[in-house]
Amino acid sequence: MIDLDIDMRQYDCPFIDTTDDVDIAFSAVQWQLDTSAERLETRLIAEGDSRDALEDGLRALRTHSNMTDCYILSKRDTVAEIGTKIEVTNAMQTIQRNGGYITGPFQIENGRERWHIGFDADEDEDRTLAELERHNEFSVEDRDQFGPSRLFDLLENAESAMELLDGCRSLTETERETFAVAFRHGYYETPRGTTLDDLADHFDVSKTAVSMNLRRSERKVLQSALGVLERMNDDQF
């Protein structure tokens, strides 16, 4: 199976048009493509930069010419869970017509959309991408080709992957930034490329504060990684 990660700009998508005009982002949670009715039904999370941005974005989405239905399931502060039905876009039709699959949730922000699509054969992929270029703007950000054994391994270990992802998401913004800067500057190399003093100067905080942020981030990530390793060992015996 061929899996593509695509940065897409469709010219007939209500979500893209809305994020072009309003500071709002959408992330699909569930979706169903009805090919017979040529309609896509989705459940999405909408997040605005402010409450006003959220209201403006939802209003623009409801009135878009390609929107069939848009309703609110829940809303709090700057975030809403919504349900939508839209007419199938040119890109969706092109992928489906050429034997492709939408394989993962999509995210839309700043007039761009991140898609995950799959194909069974190289020729299906080549034909689809050639047709997509005629009516859409896109770039392939990543491409993987999985054999049956690797694909089975990915599916079998999806729970472990989610555990590691949750551990990374548990980091605060400060912990994440401190951890990333320390790694990029060689703090974990031997010999070290940077010191706690250097990192303290970089963030304009005390050496103690940097050390605590690193320890907290390390503990969260390592705790998740250890859980994954233990699950892998249990599966082997």
Domain ranges in the chain are 2-145, 157-236
What integer pLDDT is reported at residue 201 of this predicted model? 94
- CA 137 to CA 11: how far, in whole Å? 8
Condensed to tens digits (0 to 9), the pLDDT of residues 58-92 reads 999 999 998 999 999 999 999 999 999 998 888 98
Is 211's pLDDT higher than 90?
yes
Report the half-sphere exposure of 134 (CA within 13 A, side-chain side). 7
What integer pLDDT is reported at residue 237 of this predicted model? 46
Is 53's pLDDT higher than 90?
yes
Instruction: Please give the radius of gyration of the chain, using alpha carbons only, rounded to the nearest integer.
Output: 22
Condensed to tens digits (0 to 9), the pLDDT of residues 96-145 reads 889 888 876 688 999 999 888 889 888 999 999 999 988 889 999 888 76
Condensed to tens digits (0 to 9), the pLDDT of residues 139-185 reads 998 887 654 555 555 556 556 667 777 778 888 999 999 999 999 99
Asked whether the beta carbons of 30 and 175 are under 8 A apart, the reply is no
Which CATH class, in words, describes the domain spanning 157-236? mainly alpha
**Mean pLDDT along residues 38-56:** 91
202 burial class (0-12, 13-18, 19+ CB within 10 angstroms)?
Answer: middle
